[in-house]
A and B are shown apart, each in its own frame.
Chain A
């Protein structure tokens, strides 16, 4: 007999060991997230996927599904908190959507649309962050980094290169690269790396491809992120 739990009143089947996020995605139910990606080990840092698990709050991407558990996700209160988290991500960096190559394909922007974000709400931090254009094919735009560590995970776990890491701590945490000069050009990063295309925002982008698809004709210009949580994602495995 298949095990199930209840998510917002809907019965969700799951396999032993699956997280709430994995089971929900397989059933075609969207839970907002940014640091989660189905191909990578759960991270649990953005906290956007926080759900109520039997009354206790926890990240859907790191908490395992359990038989009979009652999970709430699409509540006004949780979505208000998710909106606040998204706004926090906007103000801690320098996100200028109108001039960003990733606009329309950016998951941060798409989550903001999904949650109905109209203003940044909090005072901007306007941090001074480095842009690294040293690499011939890949651009590193730290102003747009949300520290989800997807590139760190992709480079380490898929590419086997360890090009990226997180340096510093607290609000001064920053994306660092594996070279003495601190320049991306001096790492063994390649444009064909998984790490080059996994960034949910415009922090890591391929050079000379920024406007191949015109703004207005991009994924999230026409789809809510709930319909396509990950660009190029495969069909849900069950549902």
Chain B
């Protein structure tokens, strides 16, 4: 296992060109090779990069995967989405801790192992799942956890653990144009170079492709605007920070269709005139990093990346373009495009003030296209097969196909590729969810629909989605679903703006109060008021949508809340009896008269 003295700080800094813009990547490598980022390392980095220490500390303390204190030789993080919980995560975590005689969030006595929770790691189809030193292990059960515990006890280096533990099947259940057809690397690029940049942009326009990250902005409009914007350089950024709980379709695209994604980026580069691309891969997908780098290397060898791509020259000379991979470090907010750019620039992932938007002022304040993994995959197919072919799929307003990541109470969780316009009911039949009672479409920030709405359609004009589709049967407690999501948002709020920083924590605390049986109708009303503040005043989409799960479940499943209310009017937030605890301790009393009556 890595020892503190193997941390080659100057080497890491040199590998990232002594450029403080790459600070997140530098810190990530330090964290990975040393196991911690101790205080003196911040000073050394400040000296090596020639930036104030406070800037380094700002970034180092923002990301969940960076920490100053040691987490031992084995850091175990259990994925804590509601789907993991439904699959028995809490009991399994307790079982695992008991086997190793340890407590969560406390380094073991021998300094060997540390256990904690983390936000959804993109394996909801194989829940419960966990990360060991950043590498994902899916489908946890007692047998697999026994094996992990034994390996840890024997202090076996991670590299020598049985590879079968880390095997992650794609679970593609319904292939479509993106996932089911063979793609010859270079096909889209050859078509693009033959057609020219203008004609390729026209094909994109014809295709009516809209962004697959959820917002649905028209891709051709974004590319055209970026292309027109003046700058010293143009950049292509692929958003592979698939952090929305319940989403894992990019995992499949990156694992099995990376050529399609990289080719889409290269097509975009040709259209907007970029020489550099960046793929921002969420830290939870660390296991895909080497594989993606090898795909890039293969593409360079094949003349599909690098200098003089495909030997093409025109009046402007050759076509040069290359792609670099940056890894995230545990921050959902970096899926927001301007926060992602901040992170690429080595800063905490806090969304920027917009306008200007990235198409004019993005990475290094230059014109930048930021698109989702799936959007680039679609773009490659459009470049290869033409815009009309794509526009003929789906509905008039939502062209093409959509990858849906299905998890929860169904027989066949996994990735399904549908033409837009498919009904929720059809999806539920296909995945074997006859007993479905509710579906969370597009994750916590999306829409919760009840069994009364199963005829609604997956499309931008009805249920827009980034791809998550979490199914809940009638046995599930929709209050606990919403409570899990409020904890998620409070943990992931960047803290920049008042409404989200404070509002998400207020929501979490109120939901916990209800869970403890101390809530009242007053609290329900308070949560609606907080939602109003968040929706109107928050700085970015995280805050705007953070109260959705609560408000929507309150509206659609009121019984899940009402049965928890202590009474329907007012209940003080302050625990009077709890306040006497210190007095009881001092006086050594714990009799009936030392307690306030619990009404």
Binding site for B on A (CB under 8 A): 42, 44-48, 50, 57, 59, 62, 81, 84-85, 88-89, 91-92, 122-123, 125, 146-147, 162-173, 176-180
Q: B353 to chain A: which residues have CB within 8 Å?
A: 42, 44, 59, 62
**Stretch of B149-157, B191-199, B504-512 at the chain-chain interface:** B504-512
Q: B539 to chain A: which residues have CB within 8 Å?
A: 44-45, 47
B536 touches A50 (CB 8 A): yes
Q: Given A42, A45, A81, which contacts B532 in the complex, CB threshold below 8 Å?
A: A81
B593 interface residue per 8 A CB criterion: no
In the complex, besides A45-B498, A171-B504, 19 extra interface pairs with C-beta distance below 8 angstroms are A44-B539, A45-B539, A47-B538, A48-B498, A50-B537, A62-B353, A85-B498, A85-B533, A88-B498, A88-B499, A88-B502, A122-B506, A123-B573, A170-B490, A170-B493, A170-B501, A171-B490, A171-B505, A173-B501
B439 interface residue per 8 A CB criterion: no
Q: B496 to chain A: which residues have CB within 8 Å?
A: 45, 173
**Stretch of B51-59, B384-392, B414-422 at the chain-chain interface:** B51-59
Q: How many A-B residue pairs have CB under 8 A?
A: 116
Complex: A177 Cα to B61 Cα, angstroms: 13
Pull 27 A–B residue pairs with CB atoms less than 8 Å apart, ordered by A: A44-B497, A46-B497, A47-B497, A47-B498, A47-B538, A50-B537, A57-B537, A81-B532, A85-B498, A89-B502, A123-B506, A123-B574, A147-B501, A162-B54, A166-B58, A166-B348, A167-B58, A168-B61, A169-B493, A169-B495, A171-B504, A176-B57, A176-B61, A178-B54, A179-B53, A180-B39, A180-B53
Complex: A123 Cα to B493 Cα, angstroms: 19
A92 touches B57 (CB 8 A): no
The 10 A-B residue pairs with the shortest CB-CB distance, nearest first, are A173-B495, A165-B54, A88-B502, A162-B52, A178-B54, A123-B573, A167-B61, A170-B493, A171-B505, A62-B353
Q: B491 to chain A: which residues have CB within 8 Å?
A: 170
Complex: A42 Cα to B538 Cα, angstroms: 16
Q: Given A48, A85, A88, A165, which contacts B57 in the complex, CB threshold below 8 Å?
A: A165
B53 touches A46 (CB 8 A): no
Nearest-Cβ distance from residue B516 to partner chain A, whole angstroms: 14
B84 interface residue per 8 A CB criterion: no
B503 touches A88 (CB 8 A): yes
Complex: A165 Cα to B55 Cα, angstroms: 7
Q: For residues 43 through 74 of chain B, which have their beta carbon under 8 Å from a beta carbon of chain A?
A: 43, 52-55, 57-58, 61-62
Q: B532 to chain A: which residues have CB within 8 Å?
A: 81
Q: B40 to chain A: which residues have CB within 8 Å?
A: 180
Q: Given B42, B495, B506, B538, which contacts A172 in the complex, CB threshold below 8 Å?
A: B495
Q: A42 to chain B: which residues have CB within 8 Å?
A: 353
B308 interface residue per 8 A CB criterion: no
Nearest-Cβ distance from residue A47 to partner chain B, whole angstroms: 5
Q: Given B55, B498, B538, which contacts A89 in the complex, CB threshold below 8 Å?
A: B498
Which single residue of chain A is at the shortest CB-CB distance from B51?
Answer: A162
B254 interface residue per 8 A CB criterion: no
